């Protein structure tokens, strides 16, 4: 079994939902996870800022921990950074995109929702996906930074504020035919159960995490690498965090150990 060194990158900790699926499929790999908390949330940043920030961080990590692959476990970043990254790196770069196509296929009512960040829902790339795969569907879009914050709090061991969650999802509460939602932010699978409570009419939640992990596995198998790295399952952040001990305990549940950036 090949052992590869893989970086998961996100502005926050939502990418843990993708890391989780990859670790299930390939438990022996060396996983690095970097959340750019200095730039969080990316949904509020310009495309130029996101591109430069991502390039700089990935290059710095690669210098210290030679990488076999990079997973941009952030939908907002993936809509803009994949081409520039592939120009700079010769290793596989895997992105995260909303599962519009499978959502349109599985929906019985042909009324679907894209739940994502404010940045993702308005990107031209998303318009193209809808035009290509979902013209036969009614597609609702809801962009939210608040849901990202709620998911971050849950990862840190805090309780989910269901009232705040219901308020954020209220535009969809009365849409009875809405039967399928694309979880278009890697944070949102982490609060899927709570979203289901708020939107009981929804039957299907499309989480791309497993498909991304399978794609990563396919690309790594083609490389036939055998990593010599001694690093295993480490996490970086780009600025100091509050309640560091509490965060370290939470990340330990994901089999991740904190390192200085």
Same domain, 35 and 159: no
Instruction: State whether 191 and 232 are in the same domain.
Output: no
Shared domain for 107 and 75, answered yes or no, is no
Per-residue model confidence (pLDDT) at position 250: 84
The answer on pLDDT for 43 being more than 70 is yes
What is the 8-class DSSP label of residue 144? -
Which of 54-63, 110-119, 246-255 is predicted with the least confidence, judged by mean pLDDT?
Answer: 246-255
Euclidean distance between CA atoms 83 and 173, whole angstroms: 37
Q: Per the annotation, does 145 bind a ligand?
A: no
75 annotated among ligand-binding-site residues: yes
Asked if 24 and 146 sit in the same domain, the reply is no
Beta bridge partners of 167: none
- What's the start-to-end Cα distance of the chain, in Å? 30
Is 30 assigned a ligand-binding role in the annotation? no
Cα(220)–Cα(29) distance, integer angstroms: 10
Residues 104, 84 within the same domain: no
Is 42 labelled a binding residue?
yes
145 plus 199 within the same structural domain: yes
Which letter does DSSP use for residue 205 in this model?
Answer: E
Residues 147, 43: Cα–Cα separation, whole Å: 12
* 69-72 and 30-35 strand pairing: unpaired
- The mean pLDDT value for 159-187 works out to 96
Contact 74, 96 (CB under 8 A): yes
Residues 66 and 112 in one domain: no
Q: Is 76 labeled as ligand-binding? A: yes
The domain boundary, picked from 206, 225, 246, lies at 206
Nearest to 166 by CA among 190, 191, 194: 194
Q: What percent of the chain has pLDDT over 90?
A: 72
Question: Which of 170, 190, 206 finishes a domain?
Answer: 206
Q: Say whether both 48 and 172 belong to one domain.
A: no
Q: Are residues 202 and 216 in the same domain?
A: no
Could you tell me if 91 and 171 lie in one domain?
no
Best-predicted range by mean pLDDT (73-77, 187-191, 236-240, 242-246): 187-191
Angle between helices 162-173 and 146-155 (to 10 degrees): 140
pTM for this structure? 0.89
43 carries a ligand binding annotation: yes
Percent of the chain with pLDDT over 70: 95
User: Is it the case that residue 231 has pLDDT exceeding 70?
Assistant: no
Backbone angles phi, psi at 72, to 5 degrees: -85, 95
Instruction: Supply angle C-alpha 248, 250, 254, rounded to 5.
Output: 100
- CA-based angle 53:55:60, to the nearest 5? 95
Residue 66 to residue 229: CA distance in whole angstroms: 8
Same domain, 109 and 198: yes
Residue 260 pLDDT > 60: no
Q: Which spans in 66-123 are helix H?
A: 75-88, 100-106, 118-121
- The CATH number of the domain holding residue 55 is 3.40.50.1860
Mean pLDDT score of the chain, rounded to an integer? 91
What is the number of structural domains in the chain? Answer: 2
Provide the domain limits for residue 236: 5-96+209-258
Residue 204 phi, psi (nearest 5): -130, 130
SS3 31: strand
185 and 229 co-located in one domain: no
How many Cβ atoms from other residues are within 10 Å of residue 219's Cβ?
A: 16
∠ Cα 166 206 37 (to 5°): 65
Question: Of 199, 50, 210, which is closest to residue 120 (Cα–Cα)?
Answer: 50
Q: Which residues are catalytic?
A: 74, 185
Tens of pLDDT, residues 136-167: 999 999 999 999 999 999 988 889 999 999 99
Final residue of a structural domain among 187, 206, 225: 206
């Amino acid at each position: 079994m090949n052992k590869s060194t893989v970086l998961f990158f996100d502005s926050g900790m939502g990418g843990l939902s993708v890391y989780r699926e990859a670790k299930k499929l390939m438990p022996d790999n060396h996983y690095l996870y970097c959340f750019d908390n200095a730039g969080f949330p990316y949904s509020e940043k310009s495309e130029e800022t996101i591109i430069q920030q991502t390039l700089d961080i990935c290059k710095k990590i690669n210098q210290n921990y030679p990488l076999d692959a990079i997973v941009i476990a952030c939908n907002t970043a993936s809509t803009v950074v994949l081409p520039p990254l592939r120009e700079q790196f010769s290793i596989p770069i895997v992105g995260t995109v909303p599962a519009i196509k499978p959502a349109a296929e599985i929906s019985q009512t042909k009324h679907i929702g894209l739940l994502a960040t404010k940045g993702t829902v308005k990107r031209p790339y998303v318009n193209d996906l809808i035009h290509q795969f979902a013209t036969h569907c009614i597609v609702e879009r809801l962009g939210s930074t608040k849901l990202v914050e709620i998911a971050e709090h849950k990862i840190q061991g805090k309780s989910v504020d269901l009232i705040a969650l219901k308020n954020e999802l209220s535009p969809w509460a009365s849409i009875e035919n809405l039967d399928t939602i694309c979880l278009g932010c890697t944070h949102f699978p982490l609060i899927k159960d709570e979203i289901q409570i708020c939107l009981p009419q929804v039957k299907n939640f499309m989480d791309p995490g497993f498909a991304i992990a399978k794609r990563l596995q396919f690309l790594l198998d083609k490389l036939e690498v055998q990593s010599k790295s001694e690093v295993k399952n480490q996490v970086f952040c780009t600025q100091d965090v509050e309640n560091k001990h509490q965060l370290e305990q939470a990340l330990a549940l994901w089999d991740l150990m904190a390192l200085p950036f």
